[in-house]
Amino acid sequence: MEIFRVNGGNRLEGSARVQGAKNSVLPIMAASLLARGTTVIHNCPRLSDVDAAIKILTHLGCGVAREGGSVIINSSSVTRHDIPHELMREMRSSVIFLGAVLARCGEAVMSMPGGCELGPRPVDLHLDAMRVLGAEITQDGGSISCRAARLKGRRVNLDFPSVGATENTMLCAVCCDGATVITNAAREPEIWDLQSYLARLGYQVHGAGTPAITVRGADVSGDTEHSVIPDRIAAATYLAAAACTGGDIELTGVTPGHLAAATDALSGMGCRVSGGHDSVRIDASGLRRAIRPIVTRPYPGFPTDAQPPIMAACLQAEGTTVFVENIFENRYRHTDEMKRLGADIRTEGRVAMVTGVKRLRGAPVVSTDLRGGASLVLAALMAEGVTEISGIRHIDRGYDDLAGALRSLGADISRTVTA
Catalytic residues: 116
- The reply to whether 162 sits near ligand UD1 by the rule CB under 6 A is yes
- The reply to whether 229 sits near ligand UD1 by the rule CB under 6 A is no
Instruction: Please report how close the Cβ of residue 163 comes to ligand UD1 at its closest, in angstroms.
Output: 4
Give whichever of 2 and 160 is closer to ligand UD1, judged by the CB atom: 160
- The reply to whether 163 sits near ligand UD1 by the rule CB under 6 A is yes
- The reply to whether 255 sits near ligand UD1 by the rule CB under 6 A is no
Q: Which of 57, 60, 87, 123 binds ligand UD1 (CB under 6 A)?
A: 123
Per CB under 6 A, the segment of 97-105, 121-129, 172-180, 192-200 that binds ligand UD1 is 121-129
Q: Which of residues 13-32 bind ligand UD1 (CB under 6 A)?
A: 23, 26
- The reply to whether 122 sits near ligand UD1 by the rule CB under 6 A is yes
Instruction: Please report how close the Cβ of residue 113 comes to ligand UD1 at its closest, in angstroms.
Output: 9
Interface size with ligand UD1, residues (CB under 6 A): 19
- The reply to whether 327 sits near ligand UD1 by the rule CB under 6 A is yes
Helix axes 307-314, 333-340, angle to 10 degrees: 30
Instruction: Please report how close the Cβ of residue 206 comes to ligand UD1 at its closest, in angstroms.
Output: 21
Binding map of ligand UD1 across residues 175-214, x = CB under 6 A, - = no contact: ---------------x------------------------
Q: Of the candidates 142, 138, 140, which has an alpha carbon nearest to the alpha carbon of residue 113?
A: 142
Report CA-CA distances (Å) from 191 to 28, 31, 186, 226, 238: 10, 12, 7, 14, 23
Instruction: Please report how close the Cβ of residue 161 comes to ligand UD1 at its closest, in angstroms.
Output: 7
Residues 62 and 33: beta-carbon distance below 8 Å = yes
Q: Which of residues 61-100 bind ligand UD1 (CB under 6 A)?
A: 93
Distance CA 236, CA 249 (A): 12
- The reply to whether 394 sits near ligand UD1 by the rule CB under 6 A is no
Per CB under 6 A, the segment of 30-38, 122-130, 140-148, 361-369 that binds ligand UD1 is 122-130
Distance CA 238, CA 131 (A): 41
Instruction: Please report how close the Cβ of residue 222 comes to ligand UD1 at its closest, in angstroms.
Output: 26
Instruction: Please report how close the Cβ of residue 24 comes to ligand UD1 at its closest, in angstroms.
Output: 8
- The reply to whether 165 sits near ligand UD1 by the rule CB under 6 A is yes
Give whichever of 230 and 247 is closer to ligand UD1, judged by the CB atom: 230
Distance CA 330, CA 196 (A): 33
Instruction: Please report how close the Cβ of residue 25 comes to ligand UD1 at its closest, in angstroms.
Output: 9
- The reply to whether 374 sits near ligand UD1 by the rule CB under 6 A is no
CB atoms within 10 A of CB 2: 13
Give whichever of 190 and 337 is closer to ligand UD1, judged by the CB atom: 190
DSSP letters for 34-82: GTSSEEEEES----HHHHHHHHHHHHHT-EEEEETTEEEEE-S-----E
Instruction: Calculate the CA 344 to chain-centre distance.
Output: 28
Residues 221 and 246: beta-carbon distance below 8 Å = no
List, in sequence order, every residue forming a beta bridge with 273; answer none if it has no partner.
282
Strand boundaries in 325-407, DSSP class E: 344-348, 351-355, 364-366, 386-390
Distance CA 243, CA 288 (A): 8
Give whichever of 169 and 316 is closer to ligand UD1, judged by the CB atom: 169
Give the nearest residue (CB) to ligand UD1. Answer: 164
Q: Of the candidates 229, 183, 233, 228, which has an alpha carbon nearest to the alpha carbon of residue 210?
A: 183
Q: Of the candidates 387, 370, 413, 400, which has an alpha carbon nearest to the alpha carbon of residue 116?
A: 370
Tell me how many degrees the CA angle 228-230-234 measures, rounded to the nearest 5. 130
Whether the bond into 300 is cis, omega within 30 of 0: yes
Residues that bind ligand UD1 (CB under 6 A): 23, 26, 93, 121-126, 160, 162-165, 190, 304-305, 327-328
